[in-house]
Amino acid sequence: MANRVAIVGVGQTHHTAHRPDVNQVELMNEAVRAALRDADLSIKDVDAFLMGNMELFEGSYLVDMWAVDGIGSYMKPGAKITSGGTTGASLAIAAFEYAASGLFDIVLAVGFEKQEEGNTQAGIVAGSDPLWGRWIFTSSLGIFARTALEYMRRTGAREEHAAMLRVKADRCACRNPYAHLKLNLTMEDVLNSRMLVYPLRFLDMCPVSNGACALIVASEAVARRISDKPVWVADWVTVHDLEGSLMGAMPDVRTHEIAAAELYKRNQITDVRRDIDVAEIYEPSSWGELEWYELYHFCERGEAWKLAEKGTTDMEGEFPVNPSGGVVSTNPIGATAMIRIAEAALQVRGDAGTHQVTREVRTALATGWGGSDWTTMVLLKKSL
Amino acid sequence: MGEGNGSEELLAVSYTLDLPFRYAAGPFLSRFYRELKEKGRLVANTCPQCGRLLFPPMIVCGRCHVRATEEFVELSATGTVLDYTVVLQPIQDPTTGKMREERYPHATILLDDGVSFTHRLKETDLAKLRAGMRVEGVFRDQGERQGHMTDILYFRTVED
């Protein structure tokens, strides 16, 4: 790697279903100002900017042009990134790379989505090939339903196991002041919620959220000078597969396994639950969380449901996963994958407040996933 | 949450975008749909490097990044269900923007030649569906086919 970099500021809005009181640019501005406050920096200190969302979801275009006022990039360099579910992580990773290049000392990245203002479903289905997959495409629902059924068949997992993780996520969200859905769910609530695409129920899926998240990244020398608690970015990996409907079968997200193998090898991680203290993973459904524990090697193949039964990944558990409440609780899409990194950074700093995990955090993992089958993984550390 | 003055009326504008688009199939996919429409059969081309069938047919292999062959082979329309589900709630049809009718089963079908795609199943009863079941494509009659994936009506169960 080139220069080492650290996260020196994080900020996010309260995520919610309705924000009629701000426009999109003002929403971004809230997160940017929160990150600057957190880093104790002025906008004048920032050398370069990255911003992004899923433009088609709001039906807008050239959002990077509008954003200049709200994110503070006036007369400064930067770019927009749009990469589906991974948008927020792609922005963060680009910020790491800008800062690591030596060309910029302080870089600000902001991702947002104001889903209530557009048509997310139309945006997602437009991601399928018009002449091959689009006629049958059922968006994320169909993909997760098919993999969930296959997962149950292969491992013996039951609907209850996904529901356990959904209840866990809600317990965490209820302790996170920024989370969107805080429902005080019981197992019965989840298992009796409306069936969408078998076996996916309404409460298994991520919500439609409005919100923004911002990160400030600094090169090593600057981070050491300006920050009391820099969170070091130890490593990151991005892996892309072919377009999903063209791949046909998708029983597993291969990119998760490939990215995890690369990240763990490069960082001498041989026992994930021992070598990493907390994970913030991008789980668009509670079924995704269950299935992906295995692809990220949080456990052996076919045994993720045992982690759910034992509460291993609870906030107070041996290996906490998504103490923020995760994506099933909060999903402003262009910000979602960045929230994973921001929340992981807060855990490393010990600044997650009411949802700080009980286990001491020295190393944290944040993942991203986007359609179809793009994986990002970021490894954060308290000290280098 | 918001920091605005809650006593003032806030404006929001509603609007609908209705925009026409056009998407070129290219020579390889055009050939695929011509074979489907005129001969009622599925075809694929191959990658000269890794040898895999390209389905949908394409000018380049996405894995090897080499130019694909222009020879097409006919595929068997029989295969195996890899995974399946049934859509129970209305969901938007991305080709029209309108909501689809409720309840339709769809599956990943592994054709006997080793390529897979998503298509409809005739069987709508979840209890009668299982991964690994044998299915065969049912094509529309000559003259009714339009060069579209729906020229295959669905895949029906083949009794073992």
Contact list, B61 vs chain A (CB under 8 Å): none
- pLDDT, residue A251, reads 53
pLDDT tier, A252 (very low <50, low <70, confident <90, very high otherwise): low
- pLDDT, residue A90, reads 98
Whether residue B110 and residue A149 make contact (CB cut-off 8 A), yes or no, is no
Contact list, A149 vs chain B (CB under 8 Å): 83-85, 131
- Chain B residue with minimal CA distance to A150? B83
Q: Return the domain boundaries, chain B.
A: 24-75, 76-160
**Percent share of chain A, pLDDT over 70:** 97
Residue B40 Cα, gap to closest chain A Cα (Å): 17
pLDDT at B102 > cutoff 80: no
Q: Which domains does chain A have, with CATH numbers?
A: 5-120+208-226 (3.40.47.10)
- pLDDT, residue A314, reads 97
Could you please state the CATH topology (level 3) that the domain comprising B76-160 is classified under: OB fold (Dihydrolipoamide Acetyltransferase, E2P) (2.40.50)
Tell me the range of A51-65, A258-272, B113-127 where mean pLDDT is highest.
Answer: A258-272
CB pairs under 8 A between A and B: 118
Contact list, B114 vs chain A (CB under 8 Å): none
pLDDT tier, B19 (very low <50, low <70, confident <90, very high otherwise): confident
- pLDDT, residue A59, reads 85
pLDDT tier, B1 (very low <50, low <70, confident <90, very high otherwise): very low
Residue A249 Cα, gap to closest chain B Cα (Å): 6
The 10s digit of each residue's pLDDT in A102-125 is 999 999 999 999 999 988 877 887
pLDDT at A284 > cutoff 70: yes
Is some CB atom of chain B closer than 8 A to the CB atom of A197? yes
Mean predicted lDDT score pLDDT of chain A: 94
pLDDT at A48 > cutoff 70: yes
Whether residue B119 and residue A136 make contact (CB cut-off 8 A), yes or no, is yes
The 10s digit of each residue's pLDDT in A117-157 is 988 877 887 778 888 888 887 777 777 888 898 899 899 99
- Chain A residue with minimal CA distance to B116? A248
Q: Which residue has the higher pLDDT, A347 or B12?
A: A347
Whether residue B85 and residue A145 make contact (CB cut-off 8 A), yes or no, is yes
Contact list, A135 vs chain B (CB under 8 Å): 93-95, 148-150
- Chain A residue with minimal CA distance to B17? A59
Whether residue B94 and residue A134 make contact (CB cut-off 8 A), yes or no, is yes
Contact list, A14 vs chain B (CB under 8 Å): 1
- pLDDT, residue B95, reads 74
Residue A321 Cα, gap to closest chain B Cα (Å): 27
The 10s digit of each residue's pLDDT in A358-379 is 999 999 999 999 877 899 999 9
Q: How far apart are CA A29 and CA A212, in angstroms?
A: 9
- pLDDT, residue A1, reads 53
Mean predicted lDDT score pLDDT of chain B: 89
ipTM of the complex: 0.83
Tokens 């920024």 -> residue: A178
Is some CB atom of chain B closer than 8 A to the CB atom of A16? yes
Q: Mean pLDDT throughout A59-70?
A: 91
- Chain B residue with minimal CA distance to A178? B1
Q: Which of B10, B94, B149 sits opposite A20 (nearest CB)?
A: B10
- Chain A residue with minimal CA distance to B93? A135
Q: Mean pLDDT throughout A62-77?
A: 94
Range with the poorest average pLDDT among A185-189, B18-22, B119-123: B18-22
